Amino acid sequence: MAEKETNKEKNEDPQNPASPYYLHPGENPGAVLASPILDESNYHSWSRSMMRALLSKNKFKFVDGSIQEPQKSNELHDAWVRCNTMILSWITKSVSEQIAQSVIYINNAQRLWEDLKERFSKGDYFRFSDLLQEIHSIKQADRTISSYFTELKILWEELESLRPTPTCTCDVRCSCDLSTKVKDYKDTEYVICFLKGLNDQYNTVKSQILIMDPLPVINKVFSLVLQQERQQNTPNLADSRIFSLNTQSGGNWRSSSNGRGGSSRGRGRTGGRGSFTNAGKVCTFCGKENHTIDSCYFKHGFPPNFKFKDKGNTTSINTISSKAPSTQASEISRKQNKESTSNFTHEDYDHLIDMLKRAKLQSPEHSINQLVHQTTTESVSSSNLQQNQPGPHFQEDDWAC
């Protein structure tokens, strides 16, 4: 008995840091303990924040009625007045200016706390209705899983503050665990609302979760969906590697090691246009296989030392065939005609005109035969002359490579 009285005296000692009457010298009456401050629509979240702040300072007993105002003759009266005034300042600094003006004349912290509760926590059925509608209609849209879940959790916690789970108040506590079952029903509703608002890309994981019995808790569901989001956002490493190789081979086609045949002629196997990397691919420019548009010679030009193969090699990847687009074939034909006509010099033209003039002086039948014979002879001579000249020659069928 004496020990209890001793402990009570210690707890009521204003100099004891464990006593609710103790005020630290650093306490400031102008401090704002709850953020955001109280307005007409956030009482429940504000009251929870304010209650935690007062509990951390060991002063909540002054607002819940545990510590009443002592008699003026009591030695603790002055300490109670100091603590009560400090709590009044904290509360008025944590509410809006309009609300603070309406409670400025309340001198008791407990009465101020109860007045705010009666004004802003009762009859808020409109807010209750709005919360239910928002929770059951919320969608993920363009938000991430984390931001979507956070917004839903804020709404759900506010709804739970308006409809707390009932607890047993019987003198003899019942064993039916009714409150636990009610909480399970609420948790199931929470999970369903979260899954229902997800985008269609999460239908697979959504179906897998809904077939579980029992349903996992909301935090576990959030973790599973978050893993699915990370997996979808992770790029395919194989595709990235192939894209990197294609880019390198397309950008360095002029080098000696990554040329059309690598280090040897023919279809190279060390990174050229005919390498295994491009096997099966079709160029979107010329329509040929085993190379891409990045390394297409018809688009970017032929290498300086490129040599055309014989006509017999019809398996080359750049051989002109019916698979090539008509526009590409027309362009190639135009280039061939231009090259063939560019072989005639001014002397050849003068000689041809002279032949035509001399043919007019002869008979029509004889002149025509002679003209054809001379033209054929000149063409053969010109062709032989070109073959004897050094350098690459481009014939009509020498497009296989």
DSSP letter string, 311-366? TT-TT-TT---TTS-HHHHHHHHHHHHHHHHTT--HHHHHHHHHHHHHHHTS-HHH
Output the pLDDT for position 324.
43
Structure tokens at 209: 């979760």
Between 338 and 353, where is the model more confident? 353
- In this prediction, residues 180-192 reach a mean pLDDT of 91
- In this prediction, residues 234-238 reach a mean pLDDT of 61
Residue 9: band (very low, low, confident or very high) from pLDDT cuts 50, 70, 90: low
Q: How far is CA 183 from CA 99, 164, 177, in A?
A: 35, 10, 10
Judged against a pLDDT cut of 70, whether residue 392 lies above it is answered with no
Judged against a pLDDT cut of 70, whether residue 400 lies above it is answered with no
Helix axes of 218-233 and 178-196: crossing angle, nearest 10 degrees: 20
Structure tokens at 363: 């008979």
Judged against a pLDDT cut of 70, whether residue 369 lies above it is answered with no
The helix, strand and coil proportions of the chain, stated in percent and rounded to the nearest 5, come to: 55, 0, 45
- Taking only the tens place, the pLDDT of each residue in 134-159 is 999 999 999 999 999 999 999 998 88
Domain membership of residue 395 (yes or no) is no
Peptide bond into 36 cis (omega under 30): yes
Domain membership of residue 171 (yes or no) is no
Is residue 289 classed as helix, strand or coil in its secondary structure? strand
Between 227 and 4, where is the model more confident? 227
Residues 6 and 116 in one domain: yes
Output the pLDDT for position 348.
77
Range of the domain at 371: 347-378
- In this prediction, residues 162-182 reach a mean pLDDT of 80
Sequence letter at residue 329 = A
Structure tokens at 64: 């819940």
- In this prediction, residues 240-262 reach a mean pLDDT of 48
Lowest mean pLDDT across 2-11, 194-203, 283-292: 2-11
Residues 185 and 282 in one domain: no
CA separation for the pair 372, 181 (Å, rounded): 109
Structure tokens at 32: 């704002």
Domain membership of residue 268 (yes or no) is yes
Q: Quick one: which of 179, 181, 131 has its CA closest to 156?
A: 131
Query: What pTM, to 2 d.p., does this model score?
Result: 0.50
CA separation for the pair 21, 39 (Å, rounded): 30
Q: Look up tokens 């064993």; give the residue.
A: 175
Torsions phi, psi of 291, nearest 5?
-160, 165
Residues 203 and 244 in one domain: no
- In this prediction, residues 270-276 reach a mean pLDDT of 49
Domain membership of residue 207 (yes or no) is yes
CA separation for the pair 346, 357 (Å, rounded): 17
Lowest mean pLDDT across 30-34, 147-151, 379-383: 379-383
- In this prediction, residues 5-32 reach a mean pLDDT of 81
- In this prediction, residues 282-294 reach a mean pLDDT of 82
- In this prediction, residues 263-272 reach a mean pLDDT of 43
CB neighbourhood size of 38 (10 A):
21
Residues 151 and 201 in one domain: yes
Residues 196 and 100 in one domain: no
Q: Which among 217, 233, 249 is the end of a domain?
A: 233
Contact between 88 and 80 under an 8 Å Cβ cutoff? The reply is no
Domain membership of residue 59 (yes or no) is yes
Residue 241: band (very low, low, confident or very high) from pLDDT cuts 50, 70, 90: low
Structure tokens at 370: 């002679």
Output the pLDDT for position 53.
94
- In this prediction, residues 192-216 reach a mean pLDDT of 92
- DSSP structural state of residue 131: H
Judged against a pLDDT cut of 60, whether residue 394 lies above it is answered with no
Judged against a pLDDT cut of 90, whether residue 219 lies above it is answered with yes
Q: How far is CA 385 from CA 260, 270, 392, in A?
A: 31, 40, 14
Domain membership of residue 79 (yes or no) is yes
* CB contact set of 156 (below 8 Å; sequence gap of 6+): 135, 190, 193
CA separation for the pair 193, 138 (Å, rounded): 8
If one counts the domains in the chain, the total is: 4
Torsions phi, psi of 325, nearest 5?
-65, 150
Lowest mean pLDDT across 216-230, 256-270, 284-298: 256-270
Structure tokens at 381: 């001579």
Output the pLDDT for position 42.
84
- In this prediction, residues 272-291 reach a mean pLDDT of 72
Output the pLDDT for position 301.
79
Residues 77 and 159 in one domain: no
Q: Quick one: which of 186, 125, 132, 185 has its CA closest to 155?
A: 132
Across all residues in the chain, what is the average pLDDT? 75
Q: Which among 84, 102, 120 is the end of a domain?
A: 120
Domain membership of residue 96 (yes or no) is yes
Output the pLDDT for position 269.
42
Domain membership of residue 170 (yes or no) is no
Output the pLDDT for position 345.
74
- In this prediction, residues 155-180 reach a mean pLDDT of 81
Is residue 263 classed as helix, strand or coil in its secondary structure? coil
- Taking only the tens place, the pLDDT of each residue in 97-138 is 999 999 999 999 999 999 999 888 776 788 888 889 999 999
CA separation for the pair 148, 190 (Å, rounded): 13
Rounded percentage of the chain residues whose pLDDT exceeds 90: 36
Residue 257: band (very low, low, confident or very high) from pLDDT cuts 50, 70, 90: very low
Structure tokens at 11: 């707890």
Q: Look up tokens 């297409």; give the residue.
A: 296
Q: Quick one: which of 49, 80, 53 has its CA closest to 67?
A: 80
